[in-house]
Structure 1
Amino acid sequence: MSERIQLTIALCRIGFYTCLRTLCCKSYPTPRPEYDVVCIGLSGAGKTSLLSRLCSEDINDIVPTTGFSIKAVPFPNAVLNVKELGGADNIKKYWSRYYQGSQGVVFVLDSTVSDEELEACRCELHLALQHPQLCTLPFLILANHQDSPAARAVAEIKKYFELELLAKGKRWIMEGSTINDMEAVRQRFSLLISLLEDKALQPGRL
């Protein structure tokens, strides 16, 4: 057998084993971690619209959530399975039934509401922060509709809610949001994901 034929056979064998190794040892992308998050807030806060936009869904026919809905919200490094609870008076009294298994909390409030409604938001947030099934979880608090001229500043709401005192020693983030700036909303949720990812994070305010 000539050297040329031997060389051809050797090259063919190398090619065959290379292809076989590639097929057998193909690495698949590491699956993104999933976290179960509960989303609460009074009716009209904008919870459904924000979550729908995060999922690239049409929001033209949005209706208030009755009961609850679940959306898998994808991010580059994680998937948030968000359980959104309706905020009507006849629904929110049952919120605590859906808290079990949650790993994080998203609380959405309307920055443009009346003083009376803002006080109602304050009470609901305080109850959530102290609830046995939520008190150790990271919170993302969104002061929504910040693009409205009637919106209160985030710093004003934070002071009124007494978060520095009430949430001392807890992991929480409070930021403004608007459906007209979804990139900023995604950044807010990414901060929450960072808290969910970092198991060793010492409790403290961000």
Structure 2
Amino acid sequence: DIILQVTTCFRALCCKGPPAPRPEYDVVCIGLTGAGKTSLLSRLCSEGSDGVIPTTGFSIKAVPFPNAILNVKELGGANNIKKYWSRYYQGSQGVIFVLDSASSDEDLEAARNELHSALQHPQLCILPFLILANHQDKPAARTPNQIKKYFELEPLARGKRWILEGSAIDNMEAVKESFGQFISLLEDKDTEPARI
């Protein structure tokens, strides 16, 4: 009887084989300084977001999800760094663009210009985009629909695969759902263009 238990236990432990590896995707994360890129990524990695300082240059984080791992190359959003963004686009399979939906009109205009550049960049234009209208918890935040209109996403991104969602550091469940939709776009390269 004990031999049977040991054999059963051994089979359960040894004969299953390792779990199937999760697919990994290399994505680039861009947006102006203060949009909240680093804070969101830190929270997704279960790191604290207290004392987060803006990224100078770039950082790479492996962000685990149940069905995939995103290797996120986050590029700093300061003016002296933005001009080098395109040097880091090669090899990307998707784009995360984070904007501060509660920013000044001037900063929102700058974010709009950067997003338009990214959507038209030869190395990014065919990739899926996750656009996060961050800081939805602030009183001055514009809704995702307002952002969509202001950024003229419908005409500009027609035929592309993109998702625009609101996000806030205090609602990580919604952020994870947005990333789940983004991972579906990454997995399904032959799908129809996604819209909201």
Q: Does the 8 Å contact 2:161/2:195 carry over to 1? A: yes
Name the residue aligned to 1:44: 34
Name the residue aligned to 1:6: none
Name the residue aligned to 2:71: 81
How many equivalent pairs are there?
196
Name the residue aligned to 1:184: 174
Structure 2 residue 139 is matched with structure 1 residue 149: yes
Q: More deviation in 113-122 or 178-187? A: 113-122
Please report the TM-score for the alignment, with normalisation by the length of structure 2: 0.93
Q: Does the 8 Å contact 2:163/2:194 carry over to 1? A: no
Aligned partners of 2:190, 2:118: CA distance in 1, in Å?
A: 23
User: Which residue among 112, 116, 135 is the counterpart of 2:125?
Assistant: 135
- The Cα offsets for residues 136-171 of structure 1, whole Å up to 9 and x where unpaired, read as 000000000001111111111110111000000000
Q: More deviation in 59-68 or 86-95? A: 59-68
Aligned partners of 2:52, 2:14: CA distance in 1, in Å?
A: 48
Which protein has the larger Cα radius of gyration, Structure 1 or Structure 2?
Answer: 1
Name the residue aligned to 2:49: 59
User: Which residue among 106, 109, 115 is the counterpart of 1:116?
Assistant: 106
For the aligned residue pairs, the C-alpha RMSD in angstroms reads 1.8
Question: Which runs of structure 1 show a deviation greater than 4 angstroms over 4 or more consecutive aligned residues?
Answer: 11-24
Code of the residue aligned with 1:109 in structure 2: it is: L
Structure 2 residue 31 is matched with structure 1 residue 28: no
Which blocks of at least 5 consecutive residues in structure 2 are unaligned?
none
Aligned partners of 1:188, 1:176: CA distance in 2, in Å?
A: 9
- The Cα offsets for residues 7-43 of structure 1, whole Å up to 9 and x where unpaired, read as xxxx999889767766663322101100001000000
Change (3 A) 1:13 1:115: closer
Name the residue aligned to 2:192: 202
- The Cα offsets for residues 146-203 of structure 1, whole Å up to 9 and x where unpaired, read as 0111111111111011100000000000010000000100000000000011132133
Please report the TM-score for the alignment, with normalisation by the length of structure 1: 0.89
Which blocks of at least 5 consecutive residues in structure 1 are unaligned?
1-10
Name the residue aligned to 1:8: none
